[in-house]
Structure 1
């Protein structure tokens, strides 16, 4: 398995979206097109201080083959471990930074006849790109955006563009009752073939998932910023990885991840978030025998795929197609 490609881009423009959110436009240093992507994709950004973080692309590229530039939104977190602080305080227009090529673990589902997009705060970024892509193809969709107030509404101009405005429902915590959305009422009844896409802070994600608990698992698609605080993505019982294509077995200790065990024997598995969020470390395998702890695979995908940075075996052995 090869490492994904890394690009060097120039910070073309930095703009203030809200008191806490900056938008960064990233372009090729020589003015060339960047690799294209489908709505819902994200990139890794390698920033000053040695930090690497994943950010969703907040604008639909218009074509899967190439893009003139990338736009990301970065919220300055008060409890930042260094990533958002580095982007806000150390990155300037004209700087060159390294990023990964786009990848997508949060795609639009072609089988859906209606798409319900639900965004909390900065979680709007992938859903904005989705809404733009759906509008361009004349698809049926609703975009629900939850924000504290008008002042805290990022990418407001893009949201209110003529193509999106008829599909937009805006919930403002500090607005009057007419500017609020009742999650229970909204998600009480699911129309046939409607798919739900959710991105936002942990509390928002939980509230939506609770309200949509009766929805079919494969109709609910989520993208998390961080693993829930009660998630265990590292420890468990020891087990053995059986690598079907190589015909070897690799032991995994109780306090070790499958990725680390494979790295120890010289088998390279690309990783990024190491929380089961981004999908970089997903491989084909006996998903039925896995204890899945990721937040990026659907129920159907979990039958034949495993996120190696966090998932473990239910029993003594887990077979992988490696």
Structure 2
């Protein structure tokens, strides 16, 4: 259950837009870093004691690891400190602890066609997906929704002819005749098409509304933060049944399952604490759970649960710990 932590060096910082910096992270000794598949993210532990999750913005392109990790960080006006720390306190040459890559937003191998929809900085995992799909010769389209051309991050990567031929960009301040209509775009779904979406809350809501008629298992999302109306991790009391240990752990109404386990002396890795990153996901009798996460598919929820936010439907929930 203990997650591996890497020490990486900030090899390069580049200004992408007025609000977004990219950070290239490499092994301090020039070695290769653990590999990953497009859609993965890492936890970055930054000055000030903050930890944030950032999607990897470049396809690793190899099975034997990655030469570096590339992330994009948008400085948010309402930042709780994470983006401010990355923008103001991190410099080239600095060493940062990061997690090994995790992927709760993978490309679906069963898909015959892929539609990638990104709002703003939500383009980072989808850019890596587009590169991976290009390398595989897959059928896909990448749609980016951006405020203006000035706010288009990773423009150099998007100019790659192999990507550009699959790309369409919607600028909020652009020519109305060239804007993308989500309802029209998603009105009809070709068989075998899967949809991947990442962006701010309003964008995510608009896409989910436009794709409400799509099958749940064909729509895959990556959230920046839990939606404002998310239920959170508290509610009525229940008991966790730990199958491996043969014990039970009570969870109070004002506790999350993770908090209860930690109080009991059982270490469970946790990161975002919003059901976004998948760090605390364990095998479980998922059909007995009230799922409140945003990282598991409907099919995965049958056999898994995110402990940071989900609870039992009834009086007990059995988990594989």
Normalising by structure 2, what TM-score? Answer: 0.99
- 1:63 deviation in Å? 1.4
Deviates more, 1:70-79 or 1:60-69: 60-69
Normalising by structure 1, what TM-score? Answer: 0.99
Q: Note the aligned Cα RMSD (angstroms).
A: 0.7
Match of 1:140 in 2: 139
Alpha-carbon contact 2:233-2:292 (below 8 Å) kept: no
Mapped partners of 2:304, 2:63: distance in 1: 25
Match of 1:224 in 2: 223
- Tell me how many residue pairs correspond in the alignment: 321
Match of 2:76 in 1: 77
Mapped partners of 1:320, 1:73: distance in 2: 35
Match of 1:302 in 2: 301
Q: Deviations over 1:57-107 (max 9, x none)?
A: 000010133111110000000000000000000001111111111010000
Alignment of 1:99-118 (within 5 A): 99-118=98-117
Alignment of 1:1-322 (within 5 A): 1=1, 3-322=2-321
- 1:178 deviation in Å? 3.0
Q: Deviations over 1:148-196 (max 9, x none)?
A: 0100000011112111011001111000023310000000111001000
Q: Deviations over 1:6-31 (max 9, x none)?
A: 11111000000000000000011111
Mapped partners of 1:180, 1:294: distance in 2: 32
Mapped partners of 1:151, 1:189: distance in 2: 32
Q: Deviations over 1:186-224 (max 9, x none)?
A: 001110010000000000000000100110000000000
Alpha-carbon contact 1:11-1:94 (below 8 Å) kept: yes
Alpha-carbon contact 1:38-1:64 (below 8 Å) kept: no
Mapped partners of 1:132, 1:171: distance in 2: 20
Secondary structure of residue in 2 paired with 1:262: helix
Change (3 A) 1:65 1:233: farther
Secondary structure of residue in 1 paired with 2:28: coil
Secondary structure of residue in 2 paired with 1:209: helix
Secondary structure of residue in 1 paired with 2:161: coil
- 1:243 deviation in Å? 1.1
Secondary structure of residue in 2 paired with 1:288: helix
Alpha-carbon contact 1:108-1:130 (below 8 Å) kept: yes
Mapped partners of 2:178, 2:66: distance in 1: 35
Deviates more, 1:243-252 or 1:101-110: 243-252
Mapped partners of 1:306, 1:185: distance in 2: 35
Mapped partners of 1:177, 1:64: distance in 2: 43
The answer for unaligned runs of 5 or more in structure 1 is none
Alpha-carbon contact 1:14-1:93 (below 8 Å) kept: yes
